[in-house]
Amino acid sequence: MKASAPPGGLAIIFEGVANRLAASAPKSTGDQPAAERLERATNYLNAHGYVASWEESPEGFLLHTCNCPYEGLAKQNPELCAMDLTLTATLLGGSVERVSRVLDGAGSCSYRLMVGQPPMAEPEADATAAELIRAQSS
């Protein structure tokens, strides 16, 4: 599929998958308390095999996923990591930054929820799409 997809095509496919996954989750918005959004996201991710937890940190809140349902595939398809970033941002209804990932040798994929910042703005969404495209070309 990767070899036959046009440039950027795989990125669009995986972004669509992330959006479909998030559509089946309980809705979170940026105006809900962070702890409530994190609990909902954690419950959803745990139900889908991610083994998720969260904690408060000085820079915001951290969501950790200790089990990647497609870890073996992600090594050859890092766009799956970008898809999870999109999924996490959508589940949390806010601006999210990935701070670690299992693929790089960390014990978990971890995402920081930036409290007080609006949901993912267009430049960040473009950055996620660019990450998907870069991953596809590698």
Query: For the chain, which residues make up each domain, given as ranges?
Result: 9-137
Do 11 and 136 contact (CB within 8 A), yes or no?
Answer: yes
Residue 80's contacts (CB-CB under 8 Å, 6 or more residues apart) are 14, 70, 73, 74
Q: Residue 128 — pLDDT band, cuts 50, 70, 90? A: very low
Q: Residue 135 — pLDDT band, cuts 50, 70, 90? A: very low
CATH number of 9-137: 3.30.1380
pLDDT tens-digit readout, 65-121:
998 887 788 887 778 888 888 889 888 988 899 999 998 999 999 999 987 654 444
What's the confidence (pLDDT) of residue 41? 93
Q: Residue 39 — pLDDT band, cuts 50, 70, 90? A: very high
* Backbone φ, ψ for residue 22 (5° rounding): -65, -30
Residue 19, pLDDT > 50, answer yes
Neighbour count for residue 113 (Cβ, 10 Å): 26
